[in-house]
Homo-oligomer: A and B are copies of this chain.
Amino acid sequence: MQQGYCHPLSPNGRTSVVESPPWHYGADILFVSFRADEAEVRKLLPEPLQPGKDPGLAFAWIADIISCGADPDLIYKHPESSQYKEGLLAVSCEFKGTPGWLYPYVWVDQDFSLMRGWFLGFPKKSAKVFMTRIHEQNPILPQLGVGTSISGFVERYGTRPMAASLAITGRADREELPNIGNTYNIRHFPNVPGSTTPSIYDIVNIQPKNSRFGDIWKGDATLTFGGADDEEVRALQPKEIIAGYYYQVGWSNDIDATVVHTFL
Give the B-binding residues of A (Cβ under 8 A): 1-2, 5-12, 14-15, 17, 21-22, 24-28, 40, 43-44, 46-47, 65-68, 70, 72-73, 75-83, 104-106, 110-111, 114-115, 118-120, 123-126, 128, 130-142, 148-160, 163, 165, 186-190, 192-194, 199-200, 204, 210, 212-214, 228, 230-233, 235, 248-259
Contact = CB atoms under 8 A, between A and B. Distances in A.
B204 A254 contact: no
A190 B119 contact: yes
The main secondary structure of chain A at its interface with chain B is: mixed
B105 A232 contact: no
A259 to B, nearest CB: 6
A214 B114 CA distance: 35
Contacts of A78: 157, 228
Q: Which of A47, A73, A189 counts the most chain B CB atoms within 10 A?
A: A189
Copies of this chain, how many? Answer: 4
A231 B255 CA distance: 28
A72 B141 contact: yes
Contacts of A150: 76
Contact of A200 (B79, B137, B199, B230): B199
Given A75-B133, A115-B118, 9 more contacts: A2-B46, A6-B189, A11-B40, A11-B235, A65-B135, A72-B140, A76-B151, A110-B126, A136-B250
Nearest to A167: B76
B151 A77 contact: yes
B135 A186 contact: no
27 contacts: A1-B47, A5-B190, A6-B190, A8-B106, A11-B40, A14-B231, A21-B194, A22-B193, A24-B141, A25-B135, A27-B137, A67-B138, A68-B140, A68-B141, A77-B151, A79-B131, A79-B133, A80-B157, A114-B126, A135-B248, A138-B250, A158-B163, A189-B200, A192-B204, A192-B258, A194-B258, A200-B200
A75 B152 contact: no
A100 to B, nearest CB: 15
